[in-house]
Structure 1
Amino acid sequence: MNEVKKLKVPVKSIAGAVVTAIALFGSVYTVNEGHIGIVKRFSEAKEQVNPGLHFKMPFIDSVEEIEVRTRKNEEKMASSTKEQMPVTVIVSVNWTVDKSAALDLFRQYGGLSQFESRILDPRFRSATKDVIPKYDAEQLIQDRASAIQAIEVNFIEEMKDFPVSVDNIQIENIQLPSKYLTSIETKQTEKNLAAAEKHKLARQNLEAQRAVNTAKAQADGIELVAIAEAKAIKLKGLAEAEAITAKAKALGDNPLIVKLTEAQNWDGKLPATMLGGQNMPILDMRNK
């Protein structure tokens, strides 16, 4: 009996230590980065906590995480184009939960999965199906960005009363019947050829205009040179005429200038003959 009593004390101590350890471990928890912790007491959401180490009441409180990083939802749906062509589109949306409203979202919808299935996904499908029939097949292929913008406007309006933000929307894939795709490709090829021909014609016109401009510039240059030369000749003639006039005036005003000019131009030789007056013969002035 004594031995049995002695064994009972250690068993109780071990049990107490185990319970204490469980309580201690049960009172400590962590919330992962990119998530918000929702603390529930007897299954009722009480508060939200940020990522990191936290304490709670063991056996009473429990914690559930809500991701607040950007999430991506993808939908594949059948629709029809403006010309009633059957089309299947795959669209995706990136969205984020408002961190400050994580507790309210959990209280109303019970978590992200329920929020997506009940609220986000149906509205995203509706926003997409409302836009696709407004575009013909060629527009969807060639101007996908316009359709994306229209879907985004619709979806943001649908989600304005919920604690989430819409980051961006993409049309991942557009599936059309093969015969329509061939028709669109042929049409696009023709457009590309027409655009190339138009570009070629524009380039030829530009080169022709450049040649005309060059020829005109050369002609203008020749004309300017001719005008300059004519003006130079005219100015030279005017200068020479003015010089002659001035010289004639000077000679008229002073006859002695004529004598001076003759003296300056004399070569120092006397004339060889001299004409006589009346019946005087011509005299030979040379030495014999």
Structure 2
Amino acid sequence: MALNPFYSVSSGYIGVKTVFGAIQHEQLDPGLHFRTPFISSIHEISVQPNTSVTDETAATHDQQNVTTRTAVTWSIDPGFADIIYQNYRSLDALQSIILAPIVANDMKAVISKYDAQQLVTERAAVAEEIATIILRDFGRYHVLVSLGGVNITNLTFSQQYDQAIEAKQIAQQQALQAKYTLEQTQTSSQAQVVQAKAAADATVATAEGQAKATILQANADAQAYKAKQAALSPELLQLTAMQRWNGVLPTYMGGQAPLPFLSIQPHP
């Protein structure tokens, strides 16, 4: 193989040619290329997407520790494959020496600007800011980040913080429950007051109605009695007595006692 003057660059790779170990700044695309045995060599470097995962612990603005896991999908700029090979010789070296520290530093810088609660409520904005900074810093080393290539796959707070959040949530729930219970009690009390007032009003209305009915009945009875008294003339009284008389005269009458029912009017 060393004597073969031809070399085939694989698909998804760029060939970097060296002569006596010195980098030749030309790009060898996939396909067949010529080389001089023992003098020149061709080295392949991948331009395919790679995904690097970085775990990092950072402090928030309010001094809460948060552990993050960030996945970045990236690839080298094919036009700078020779420079990258010259500086790092491999993508693994590029990842460990340059890219991983960039992700860690950018993550810490962004997280330090936010309180722990904001990382939860504004997670999308935080992730976007981190992605923007990583894309910028990777670009300085001729590394491209694919669209949507930065993902924060994990965001974990300390156990103490989680316990504090849980306690706060429990307290909030208890406060809401107490407020609800108080409102229910107040509503029930108000309903009882309304019901009691309605019952009292009904009792008063009933009593007033009964009193008015009694007064009306008494007035009616009085009017009837008055009318009856007005109708009792002497003639009517005598006629009533005559209708009730059994025809028997008293056996003894005083000298001054009048004969019953005898009323003789002189003729003119």
Alignment of 1:88-103 (within 5 A): 88-103=67-82
Instruction: Decide which of 25, 31, 51 is 2:9's aligned counterpart.
Output: 31
* 1:107-136 CA-partner distances (Å, limit 9, x unpaired): 233332333333322222111110112222
Shift, 1:160, TM fit: 3.8
CA gap 1:40/1:180 in 2 versus in 1, 3 angstroms:
same
The answer to which structure, 1 or 2, has the higher relative contact order (CA under 8 A, 6+ apart) is 2
Q: Structure 1, residues 224-268: CA drift from partner, whole Å, max 9, x if none? A: xxxxxxxxxxxxxxxxxxxxxxxxxxxxxxxxxxxxxxxxxxxxx
Q: Work out which of the two has the higher radius of gyration on C-alpha atoms and give 1 or 2.
A: 2
Aligned residues: 170
Secondary structure, aligned partner of 2:141: coil
Shift of 1:68: 0.7
Amino acid in structure 2 at the alignment position of 1:33? S
Secondary structure, counterpart of 2:112 in structure 1? helix
- Say yes or no: does 1:148 pair with 2:127: yes
Amino acid at match of 1:176: F
**Residue 62 of structure 2 aligns to a residue in which SS?**
coil
CA RMSD, 1 decimal: 2.6
Corresponding residue for residue 137 of structure 2: 158
1:172 aligns with 2:150: no
User: Structure 2: 5+ residue runs without aligned partners?
Assistant: 177-268
2:51·2:73 contact (CA, 8 Å) conserved in 1? yes
Change (3 A) 1:146 1:187: farther
Q: How big is each residue's C-alpha offset from its partner over 1:50-93, in whole Å with a ceiling of 9 and x where there is no partner?
A: 11233322222222111111111221111112221112111121
State TM-score, norm by structure 1.
0.52
Q: Is the 8 A contact 1:75 1:91 kept in 2?
A: yes
Q: Is the 8 A contact 1:144 1:171 kept in 2?
A: no
2:158 is matched by which residue type in structure 1?
Answer: P
Matched letter for residue 27 of structure 1: P
Q: Which of 145, 157, 162 is matched with 1:181 structurally?
A: 162
TM-score, length-normalised on structure 2? 0.55
CA distance in 2, matches of 1:179, 1:109: 42
CA distance in 2, matches of 1:145, 1:185: 23
Give the direction of change, closer, same or farther, for the CA distance of 1:188–1:61 in structure 2 (3 Å limit): farther
- CA distance in structure 2 between the partners assigned to 1:28 and 1:57 by the alignment: 8
Structure 1 residues without counterparts, runs of 5 or longer: 1-20, 195-288
**Superposition pairs for residues 68-217 of structure 1, below 5 Å?**
68-167=47-146, 168-184=149-165
Percent identity, please.
Answer: 32
Which piece of structure 1 moves more, 95-104 or 139-148?
139-148
Residue in structure 2 matched with residue 271 of structure 1 by the alignment? none
